[in-house]
């Protein structure tokens, strides 16, 4: 008879869910399957972040894949006192930077007309039109921000990260992270208003 360790999958289904941090520590310590749960929890938000950052779905998907690949590859560097989400976005930032360095092109914005397709599930419904145009305008406005501004804005508004964590991801002080986020929001507002007031072509 072989004495078997507790099946990790049984632990997973226990009512008390393991935290992201606990799961990543488990991955680090060799329970690679725990990364599956982290993937299921975070692929959506991570993809959303990268999509808005790059303005391109296939690129966002490629980078998201690289992020999970690096989590696995660099699992031994995950720290006891780490925050999983902050670590993930730290990696995401690096992966995005690598991606653009490799493709030798600046992050480009998608044509807002393309984005329309993805945004609205009922493109023919008239009452959706206003929202859709607003979305498209916002996408266009986001695309016109510079990469750093877009990044800090997306981190501060979407990802449930504290400014302390954001400052860690961006490798700057908490104060600087706030200032950058606020400046980015103002700039976005300016561009957004300008686009809204532009007569429809």
Partner 1 sequence: MNCQRVREILPELIDESRHGPAGGDAAEARAHIAACPACEREFAALARTAAALDAMTTPPPSPRLRKNFYTMLAEEKLIAAAPAPARAAPAAAPARPAWWRAFLAPLAACALLAIGFLAGRQPSPGSRADDTAMRTELQQLREQVNKMGTLVSYSLLQQQQGPANDRLRGVLAAARAESPNDKTLDDLVSALAFDPSANVRLRALEALAPHAGRELVRSGVLAALPREQNPLVQLELIDFVAATEDPAAAPALERLSLDQATDRSVRDAAQRALARF
Name the residues that contact partner 1, by CB under 8 A.
Answer: 7, 9-10, 13, 30, 32-33, 35-36, 39-40, 43-44, 47-48, 51-52, 57, 60-62, 64-66, 68-69, 72, 99, 102, 118-119, 134-135, 138-139, 142, 153, 156-158, 160, 162-163, 178, 181-182, 185-186, 188-189, 192-193
80 vs 117, beta carbon nearer partner 1: 117
Name 27's Cβ contacts closer than 8 Å, sequence gap at least 6: 34, 35, 38, 71, 72, 75, 78
21 vs 157, beta carbon nearer partner 1: 157
Q: In the bound complex, what is the minimum distance in angstroms from residue 84's beta carbon to partner 1?
A: 16
Containing 14, the helix (H) or strand (E) segment is none
Q: Residue ranges of the alpha helices (H) in 55-83?
A: 57-73
Q: In the bound complex, what is the minimum distance in angstroms from residue 185's beta carbon to partner 1?
A: 5
Q: In the bound complex, what is the minimum distance in angstroms from residue 171's beta carbon to partner 1?
A: 19
Q: Which residue has the tokens 């859709």?
A: 132
Backbone angles phi, psi at 189, to 5 degrees: -55, -45
Q: In the bound complex, what is the minimum distance in angstroms from residue 187's beta carbon to partner 1?
A: 10
Name 26's Cβ contacts closer than 8 Å, sequence gap at least 6: 8, 18, 34
């Amino acid at each position: 008879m072989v004495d078997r360790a507790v099946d990790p999958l049984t632990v997973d289904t226990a009512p008390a869910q393991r935290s992201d941090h606990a799961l990543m520590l488990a991955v680090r310590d060799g329970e690679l399957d725990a990364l599956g749960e982290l993937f299921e929890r975070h692929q959506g938000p991570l993809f959303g972040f990268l999509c808005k950052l790059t303005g391109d779905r296939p690129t966002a998907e490629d980078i998201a894949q690289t992020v999970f690949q690096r989590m696995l590859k660099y699992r031994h560097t995950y720290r006891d006192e780490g925050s999983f989400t902050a670590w993930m976005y730290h990696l995401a930032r690096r992966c995005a930077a690598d991606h653009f360095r490799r493709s030798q092109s600046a992050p480009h914005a998608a044509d807002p007309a393309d984005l329309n397709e993805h945004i609205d599930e009922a493109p023919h419904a008239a009452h959706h039109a206003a929202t859709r145009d607003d979305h498209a305008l916002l996408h266009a406005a986001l695309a016109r921000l510079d990469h750093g501004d877009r990044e800090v804005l997306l981190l501060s508004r979407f990802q449930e990260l504290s400014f302390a964590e954001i400052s860690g991801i961006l490798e700057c002080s908490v104060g600087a992270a706030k200032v950058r986020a606020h400046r980015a929001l103002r700039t976005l507002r300016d561009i957004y208003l300008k686009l809204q007031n532009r007569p429809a072509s």
